[in-house]
Amino acid sequence: MRDITELIQRHRECSRHLWNTYFWPQAQTDDDWDLRDQFEDVCAKLFSSLVLWPIERESYVPNPAYLRPHREIPFIRVVPNGSCSIQINREICSGYWDHPINQVEESDIDMRFIHYFDWWNVGHRDFEYFQVLIVSSAAHPELNGRHALVKPLGMKAMFDENVF
C-alpha cells in the first residue's frame, strides 16, 4: 500500500478554499442547494485530477457527495495512527452519528474513503470529517457496512494497488 495522505489533503484544501471563497457567498445569500450540487460536481472532477490521476486510477468516477447511496472508493483505505475517535452511524443508513462505540484501534478496523463531511452544506465548510465505510471490524462485527465520521488529522490515506 502507498501513502496518499498528501494527495487527499491537497484536494481537501483546494475544495475547501474553492467553496469558502467563491461558492459559499452566493449559496448562502440564496440558500442555494443547486449551487451546492454544482460545487459537488466540481469537487468530484477535482478529486479525479488531484488524487486519482496521480495514482493512475483516473478511470474510476467518484460520485458527488449529494448522490445517495454514498459509495466508498474501494482502493482508498483510511487508517488511524494508533487509535482514534469515531462517530458511527446509528443504523446502516441514517443521519444519526451516535452509535455507542466511539473509539477504534488501527489493527481492528478497515475503513474506506467516501468523501468529506460537514454538518452544514451551504454555509462555511471546513471538510471537518472524512466520511468512511467500515468494511470490517473483528472486535465489533456489528459495525461492518456502517458509515462513520473520522477527523482527517491523525489519519492516513492509503492506496491499495491490489483493489480495483
The cell for 140 is 465489533
Q: What is the mean pLDDT of residues 49-60?
A: 97
Q: Which three cell numbers stand for residue 11?
A: 484536494
Q: How confident is the model at residue 148 (pLDDT cuts 50, 70, 90)?
A: very high
pLDDT of residue 69: 87
Task: Work out the average pLDDT over 114-143.
Answer: 93
pLDDT digits (tens, 9 = 90+) for 81-122: 888 899 999 877 778 899 888 888 888 999 999 999 999 888
- Position 91 scores a pLDDT of 79
Confidence of residue 45 (pLDDT cuts 50, 70, 90): very high
Summarize the confidence of residues 116-135 as an average pLDDT: 94
Within 27-108, strands assigned E span: 76-80, 83-85, 87-88, 103-105
Residue whose C-alpha is closest to residue 16's, from 126, 139, 132, 98: 126
Strand (E) or helix (H) holding 6: helix 5-18
The b/e string for 124-137 (b: 16+ C-beta within 10 A; e otherwise) is: ebebebbbbbbeeb
Instruction: Provide the pLDDT for residue 102.
Output: 85
The mean pLDDT of the chain is 93
Name the strands in the sheet holding 87-88, side by side, starting at the edge strand that comes first in the sequence: 2-3, 155-159, 76-80, 109-117, 129-137, 147-150, 87-88
CA–CA gap between residue 23 and residue 61 (Å, rounded): 23
